[in-house]
């Protein structure tokens, strides 16, 4: 392996690490929003609703950061021989949702659960590719 190939792999690994960081944060906030959402459904009051919406806002910001990091990872991955954007295109659209305060709490819980599942899937996929890249070094 020459120096250019090594650098491209290292850049892809770094981008994977950044994506995993944001995916992990998004997953944490989604989990917290989901927990507060359950409290809200089963008798929470105004304070519970405010906390839930705060957690949902944090989750949305991290989801957007994760999507940006996944796009950068996709770009870096294309520079590595044997990989193409096809490897991660399937989850670049993960968590494409909007938390709408007008929606019923149960529907919001469903969206949070789906976003957590998609986040978990993306974490698994990025981790697999990152391990493959690291084994090439």
Question: What sections of 42-83 are H helices per DSSP?
Answer: 46-78
Q: Which domains does the chain have, with CATH numbers?
A: 3-136 (1.20.120)
What digits encode the pLDDT tens for the residues 4-47? 999 999 999 999 999 999 999 999 998 888 887 777 777 777 78
Residue whose tokens read 């690490």: 17
Indicate yes or no: pTM above 0.85: no
What digits encode the pLDDT tens for the residues 91-100? 555 555 444 4
Compute the C-alpha angle 10/15/18, nearest 5°: 130
């Amino acid at each position: 392996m020459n120096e250019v190939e090594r650098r491209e792999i290292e850049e892809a690994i770094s981008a994977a690490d950044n994506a995993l960081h944001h995916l992990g944060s998004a997953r944490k906030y989604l989990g917290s929003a989901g927990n507060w959402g359950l409290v809200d459904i089963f008798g929470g009051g105004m304070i519970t609703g405010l906390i839930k919406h705060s957690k949902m806002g944090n989750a949305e910001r991290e989801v957007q950061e994760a999507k940006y990091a996944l796009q950068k990872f996709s770009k870096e991955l294309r520079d590595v021989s044997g990989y193409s954007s096809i490897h991660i295109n399937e989850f670049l659209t993960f968590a494409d949702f909007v938390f709408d305060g007008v929606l019923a709490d149960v529907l919001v819980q469903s969206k949070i659960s789906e976003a957590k599942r998609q986040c978990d899937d993306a974490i698994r996929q990025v981790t697999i590719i990152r391990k493959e890249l690291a084994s090439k070094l």
